[in-house]
Amino acid sequence: MTTLFAFIISFLVAAISTPLVIALYKARKWVDDPKKSTHPKVVHKKPVPRGGGIVIALATLLPTLVLLDMNKKLIGIVVAAIFITVLGFLDDIRDLHPKLRLPLLFAAALLVVGSGVGIAYVSNPFGPGVLHLDQPRIMFEFFGTHTIWVLADLFALIWIVWTMTIVNWSKGLDGQMPGFVGIAALVIGVLSLRFSTDPAQLQVTTLAMIVSGAFFGFLLWNMYPQKIMAGYGAGSLAGYFLAILSILSGAKVATALLVLAIPTIDACFVIVRRIANGKSPLWGDRGHLHHRLMDMGWGKRRIAAFYWLSTAILGLASLQLNSQQKFYTIIGAVVLFGGLVAWITLFFSSSKQLARDSG
């Protein structure tokens, strides 16, 4: 009941606070006006506020502070989330440079890793047992004795930043990102229920339901035609929470990789293509999978539904598979969706501009 209550509360907070944030941003003229932007990735036609990060922060952090027992790790999670929210807010109104945003994402990840959130082990996909990442360790004195688990902390740091980045890159269309993130968080929450006898895992399940409810509540206002955009804040918080949940739920990195297969594959293709073309992988363009699908004539609602359905199918599969089966399923997803992306990239040019408000 606690987990269901957490979902409902975060859903309502997001659904109710979103129109207030929309009104505030419009009053302050903090809107993304396509007439003032010549960037090819812009696909909306009317000015839209980008305040999704404020909504998600309210809908996740308020229930977290009320419903969960605070400890060192949870304090670190909350502080880092606030940091990301501020970063997203500044990007909403100032359009921060990508080379500034990336190190700030690492700073946020360091905050939470420093609180003790690390990946001490991962399941062995080739046999029984786990692969330990708790060695080597570095101990030092600074107002007490502290220990750095080099591999565990480094893996967690990279995993958190990577997940924030790829999810952020898959939020270009109305309703696209909140839908698949809400589903992904729900899957991780259900997976955590298998360890419900552990009080710590009950906390993880509750947090997962809070995150899921927040994004589904925000989705009501972000669906086509969107009244508000996710912005850098909501996109980063989405990836951040999914990465944290995958770590806290028993190092379920494979599960997160599976449910986020499409954003992951898309990001890999984008990075390779940008580098091959002599461009920085940090600079946005109109070459993501959702842009390519638009070039094929798909409407925004259809593309969003494709992301939701794919995530749901892969999520349901992850609940039924062991570690080795997940590994081979990930390989299959890479071949299937990677082939799809490669085929679309080969036969369709992203220079074709369709109607921006096509639903």
Beta bridge partners of 333: none
Tens digits of pLDDT across the chain (359 residues): 688 999 999 999 999 999 999 999 999 999 987 766 655 566 666 889 999 999 999 999 999 999 999 999 999 999 999 999 999 999 999 889 989 999 999 999 999 999 989 888 787 777 677 777 877 877 766 556 667 788 889 999 999 999 999 999 999 899 999 999 999 999 999 887 776 556 668 899 999 999 999 999 999 999 999 999 999 999 999 999 999 999 998 757 888 889 999 999 999 988 988 998 888 888 878 888 898 888 888 999 999 999 999 999 999 988 888 777 888 888 888 888 888 777 877 776 544 554 455 56
Mean model confidence pLDDT for the chain: 87
Helical H segments across 41-71, by residue range:
52-67
Q: Would 333 be classed as within a structural domain?
A: no
- Domain interval for residue 219: 2-252
Per-residue pLDDT tens over the stretch 335-349: 888 887 778 777 765
Angle (deg, nearest 10), helices 2-27 and 52-67: 150
Q: How far apart are the C-alpha atoms of 50 and 246, rounded to whole Å? A: 27
Q: Would 124 be classed as within a structural domain?
A: yes
Q: Would 237 be classed as within a structural domain?
A: yes
Angle (deg, nearest 10), helices 150-168 and 98-114: 140
Q: Would 300 be classed as within a structural domain?
A: no
Q: Which residues contact 171 (CB under 8 A, 6 or more apart)?
A: 177, 230, 234, 235, 238
Q: Would 287 be classed as within a structural domain?
A: no
Per-residue pLDDT tens over the stretch 292-332: 888 888 999 999 999 999 999 999 988 888 777 888 888 88
Q: Would 29 be classed as within a structural domain?
A: yes
Joined tokens for residue 313:
């199918």
**pTM (2 decimals)?**
0.91
Residue type, 13: V
Q: Would 349 be classed as within a structural domain?
A: no
- The domain tally of the chain equals 1
Joined tokens for residue 57:
């922060």
Is the separation of the CB atoms in 178 and 230 below 8 Å? yes
Angle (deg, nearest 10), helices 72-94 and 98-114: 170
Q: Would 104 be classed as within a structural domain?
A: yes
